[in-house]
Amino acid sequence: MKIKHLACVLSLTFSTFGYAATPVSCPFTAAELSTALGETFKEGKVGFESDFGTGKTLNCRYSSKNMTLMVKQTVMKDPTQTQGWDRSLAGSKTPVAKDPDGAIQQTDQGDMTSPNLHYARSGDIVELRIMGVGPKSPKFSQLQAALPTLRRLP
């Protein structure tokens, strides 16, 4: 009986979760970001990975002298669970014109507003956010416009 119990525990421990394996490296190159955003970025550093019942969240950060780009990717086990993903976002939500993924950008969050892009694609929810640049910065509009031009994940 103990052997069957041990076998069951081991099989559950080492089984896959039903969502695609995600890369352990950051999705963008520093060169790719530097070109698109007009700032010299360092290669990304993998941040936290958080598993939860219906998926997991991956985080990666890219630093430059003046800002940090956070890339957060929530990988859902069931792709249909991405429906309504944008309801919990604070502030106003502005759709990105003619965006194939229905991407939106948050605005009107007061001093908390930073250049950002949110979209759901292939069962993943993706957030790109530039930290260190506020709504009063002269670079804000330029960066807000540049984020939708980045290659889409996954």
Percent of the residues in the chain that have a pLDDT greater than 90, as a whole number: 71
Amino acid making up residue 130: I
- Phi, psi (5° rounding) for residue 32? -60, -45
Amino acid making up residue 88: S
Res 13: pLDDT: 35
DSSP one-letter code for 46: E
- Tell me the mean pLDDT in the region 139-150: 97
Q: Above 70 in pLDDT, residue 123? A: yes
Res 24: pLDDT: 56
Res 105: pLDDT: 97
- Closest by CA to 146, choosing from 79, 21, 14, 133, is 133
DSSP one-letter code for 82: G
Q: Burial-class residue 24 by CB neighbours within 10 Å (0-12, 13-18, 19+).
A: exposed
